């Protein structure tokens, strides 16, 4: 079973308008509500591709109840911890030529709620996959990813980590099954601007030397590369289409990769489906549907 963890979920209120005028009344030409957070995005796209998962994390208040109900209606299994105070955040995404975001803070997560999450994770067994994705709320210890992977170490659980900077670097010693930095994040870990494919490959290899089994690097218009655990590089071209949305494309790539891997056991197939899923979300108003993924897949 695949389990995803979202520490700070959100309701994303997405509005489109011709232009944004600060200090004035602005009216939307289109609006959309999405249930967000990187782990939730992974679970949603996995479900769209027919792969079951369980979404874990923390919810609070009326917004948290709305997320849980919405995910359940979409067929996503959930096992969230409900916090006694506060409310799950609302993020406003304004698309008016440029994208402007106003992200809420989210509720505080008390120590007893974190212990409740640990107990849920203790129930994972060998062969399960755990996806840790996104930033850490200020109310949690900054080494929470390390603490989780240390707790699960040696139990045959495959970890997928989609994070950046020290949050990613510090978990490599636990040999995660998959990490997915983008090119900018990868370069930032080494204080470089990665301009050539050889530079990307070299930095990916360094992360594998530090412990990552598979390194998937998304490169926007230049596609993606995968350094698999056998030391082989795979490259996928960028999907072709008109970009409408940047939110959740990387999470969709992770979901597609996992769905492809579980279905075929082949890294090349996993990379291809991951690239298609990421592209399908980028070309959609929301997260990719199965039909959208299959349409992009036919062009690769």
Give residue-wise pLDDT tens across range 82-119: 999 999 999 998 988 888 889 999 999 999 999 999 99
Homologous superfamily, domain 2-8+37-88+107-297: Ribokinase (3.40.1190.20)
Q: What is the pLDDT of residue 13?
A: 93
pLDDT band for position 288 (cuts 50, 70, 90): very high
pLDDT band at 243 (very low <50, low <70, confident <90, very high): confident
Which residues sit opposite 31 in a β-bridge? Answer: 15
pLDDT band at 244 (very low <50, low <70, confident <90, very high): confident
Look at 144 and 243; give whichever has higher pLDDT: 144
Q: Look at residue 207 in the predicted model and tell me its pLDDT.
A: 96
The reported pTM is 0.93
Lowest mean pLDDT among 15-24, 64-73, 211-220: 15-24
In the predicted structure, residue 47 carries a pLDDT above the cut 90: yes
pLDDT above 90 for 233: yes
pLDDT of res. 99: 83
Mean pLDDT, residues 43-49: 97
* Cα-to-chain-centroid distance, residue 282: 14
Write down the H helix ranges in the chain: 38-48, 61-73, 111-121, 144-152, 165-169, 183-189, 197-209, 249-264, 267-282, 290-297
Q: Map out the domains of the chain as residue ranges.
A: 2-8+37-88+107-297
Q: Please tell me the predicted confidence (pLDDT) of residue 182.
A: 92
Strand 224-227 versus strand 158-162 pairing type: unpaired
3-class SS of residue 77: strand
Provide the 3-class DSSP secondary structure of residue 164: coil
Helix (H, G, I), strand (E, B) or coil at 269: helix
The pLDDT score that the predictor gives to residue 251 is 95
Give the catalytic positions in this structure: 251
Look at residue 123 and tell me whether its pLDDT is greater than 90.
yes
- Give 75's contacts (C-beta < 8 A, 6+ positions apart): 47
**269-289 mean pLDDT:** 94
Q: How far apart are CA 35 and CA 70, in angstroms?
A: 7
DSSP 118-141: HHHHTT--TT-EEEEES---TTS-
Higher-scoring residue by pLDDT: 132, 238: 132
* Chain mean pLDDT for the chain: 93
**pLDDT for 295:** 92
Dihedral over alpha carbons 281, 14, 42, 207 (to 10 degrees): 80
Cα–Cα distances in Å, from 219 out to 17, 30, 208, 214, 271? Answer: 28, 29, 18, 16, 13
Instruction: Report the greatest alpha carbon distance in the chain.
Output: 57
Q: What confidence score (pLDDT) does residue 247 get? A: 81
Residue 286 has pLDDT above 90, yes or no: no
Distance between CA atoms of residues 187 and 200, nearest Å: 8
Helices (H) and strands (E) in the chain, counts: 10, 14
Are 258 and 129 a contacting pair, CB within 8 Å? yes
């Amino acid at each position: 079973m695949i389990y995803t963890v979202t520490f700070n979920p959100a309701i994303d209120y997405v509005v489109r308008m011709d232009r944004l005028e600060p200090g004035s009344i602005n009216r939307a030409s289109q609006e959309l509500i999405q249930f967000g957070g990187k782990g939730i995005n992974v679970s949603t796209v996995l479900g769209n591709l027919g792969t079951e998962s369980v979404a874990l994390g923390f919810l609070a208040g009326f917004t948290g109840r709305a997320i849980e109900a919405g995910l359940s209606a979409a067929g996503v299994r959930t096992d969230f911890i409900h916090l006694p105070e506060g409310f799950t955040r609302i993020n406003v995404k304004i698309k008016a030529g440029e994208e402007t975001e106003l992200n809420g803070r989210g509720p505080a997560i008390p120590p007893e709620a974190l212990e409740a999450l640990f107990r849920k994770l203790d129930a994972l067994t060998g062969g399960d996959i755990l996806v840790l994705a996104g930033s850490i709320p200020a109310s949690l210890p900054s080494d929470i990813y390390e603490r989780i992977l240390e707790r699960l170490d040696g139990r045959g659980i495959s970890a997928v980590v989609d994070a950046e900077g020290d949050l990613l670097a510090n978990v490599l010693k636990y040999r995660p099954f998959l990490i997915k930095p983008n090119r900018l994040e990868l370069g930032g870990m080494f204080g470089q601007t990665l301009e050539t494919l050889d530079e990307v490959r070299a930095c990916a290899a360094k992360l594998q030397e530090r412990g990552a089994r598979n390194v998937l690097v998304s490169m926007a218009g230049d596609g993606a590369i995968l350094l698999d655990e056998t030391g082989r590089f795979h490259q996928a071209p960028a999907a072709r289409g008109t970009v409408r949305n940047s939110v959740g494309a990387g999470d969709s790539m992770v979901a597609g990769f996992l769905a492809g891997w579980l279905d075929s056991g082949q890294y090349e197939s996993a990379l291809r489906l991951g690239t298609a899923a990421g592209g399908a979300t980028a070309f959609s108003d929301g997260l990719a549907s199965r039909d959208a993924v299959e349409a992009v897949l036919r062009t690769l």
